[in-house]
Amino acid sequence: MPRFPNVSKHAHSVSARVYSNLEQRALAKNEAIYRLHVGDTYRDPVAAARAENQLSAEHPGLHKYAPVHGEPSLIEAFIAYVEARHDETLNPDLVQVMSGATAGLSVVCQVLLEPGDEVLLPSPFWPLSRGIIATKGAVPVQVPFYTRLDEPGFDAEAALESAVTDRTVALYVNTPNNPSGRVLPDATVDAMMRVATRHGLWVLCDEAYEEIYFDREPPDAVWKRRGIRDRAIAFHTLSKTYGFAGARVGFTHGPEGVMAAIRGMQTFHTYCAPRPMQFGAVGALQQGGTWVEESRSLYREAGYQAADALGVPRPEGGTFLFIDVSAQLGPGQEDCSAFLERCADAGVLLTPGRSCGADYPKWVRLCFTSVPPDQLAAALEKLKPLVGTSLA
């Protein structure tokens, strides 16, 4: 029981400094620095979505609370989007507007998890997913996964199966994946779903990059699979798809019983997502189709350019490269800190791999959409000699 001035043990399970704090070092040595450690976009959203275009005259009570469920016009626009993208018709009662996927996952974890429960977290993963689970007092069980997909003999089912215990409650799936850039093959998803159904697990489907895929047809959403609809809870967000990260608008949907509990918990979390930005989100969903197409093509070009420059495999989707820099570390260096410092000295900020999984101390993450193409090209010029220099 924490008494003043102590805080709860769950608070100790996360650090506010999810991203590396090398900025001061970079600024001290460079006029221009390149912040490739932040997962965001350099593109502004379509005009209809922007904050400055949401008008009280058009939306009376613009700054009042929205219904907990979400603005009806937004739920309608999202259902139309899901029909077009996923060929599925959602029941509006089972859709909950959230303040982004971050709040969505947080509310859902609050609903599903008791302290000590375990969640299978295939790694590398979006850094906040681990912390969200941990802040509920639950245990994120990290299973090295996305980086192993091409390993001869890698058995996805066995890898997850061996991590299941009688405390396992849920499996988190994110495809296209932050940070590996992988899109899970159907057979791998099948294997994951066999584990989930065999052990009665919830399946948490993170759709953050559902529109950012590069070299194939739109990937099939995991939550759509017939055999798992009763246990799948999906998280969508406008942050990546529509360049709307600061607006904090996303959606959660799932089966009937749990959605009632999720709506109840949402009331006590943020109550509603920001109302003005819910109207902006309607604009993004209704008028952002071309923007999404353009972004996909620009991001594909940026991802391929970055991968080719650094000599690593091209991403299949998402907005990141995840790079093994163990050959660039000196003898005895157990993590990538010194490498990140060399990058910061050159003016480029990257994320330490460890924030994406305990098994990745010698990896780094690079976001290729956070700066415009000319700046990305300049940053890559600075990184090339560093990534290409083997110290081993």
Ligand X SMILES: Cc1ncc(COP(=O)(O)O)c(C=O)c1O
- Beta strand spans in 145-201 (E): 168-174
Residues 341/25, Cβ–Cβ less than 8 Å:
yes
219 contacts ligand X (rule: CB under 6 A)? no
Of 16-24, 82-90, 100-108, 152-160, the segment contacting ligand X by CB under 6 A is: 100-108
Residues 265/110, Cβ–Cβ less than 8 Å:
yes
CB of 315 to ligand X, least distance (A): 13
Contacts of 13 (CB under 8 A, 6+ apart): 131, 134, 135
Query: Can you read off the two tokens belonging to residue 214?
Result: 């590069």
Tokens 């000699």 belong to 385
Of 122, 250, 254, 280, the one binding ligand X by CB under 6 A: 250
The residue number whose beta carbon is nearest to ligand X equals 100
Rounded Cα distance between 369 and 42, Å, is 6
Nearer CB in complex with ligand X: 54/180: 180
160 contacts ligand X (rule: CB under 6 A)? no
123 contacts ligand X (rule: CB under 6 A)? no
Which positions from 34 to 63 touch ligand X by CB under 6 A, shown as an x/- string? -----x------------------------
Nearer CB in complex with ligand X: 315/347: 315
Number of residues lying near ligand X (CB under 6 A):
13
237 contacts ligand X (rule: CB under 6 A)? yes
- Of 197-216, binders to ligand X (CB under 6 A) are 206, 208
Residues 98/251, Cβ–Cβ less than 8 Å:
yes
Burial class (CB in 10 A: 0-12, 13-18, 19+), 312: middle
CB of 38 to ligand X, least distance (A): 9
Residues 340/350, Cβ–Cβ less than 8 Å:
yes
Of 81-89, 94-102, 283-291, 329-337, the segment contacting ligand X by CB under 6 A is: 94-102
Nearest to 29 by CA among 335, 389, 387, 382: 382
Q: Which residues bind ligand X (CB under 6 A)?
A: 39, 100-102, 126, 174, 178, 206, 208, 237, 239, 245, 250
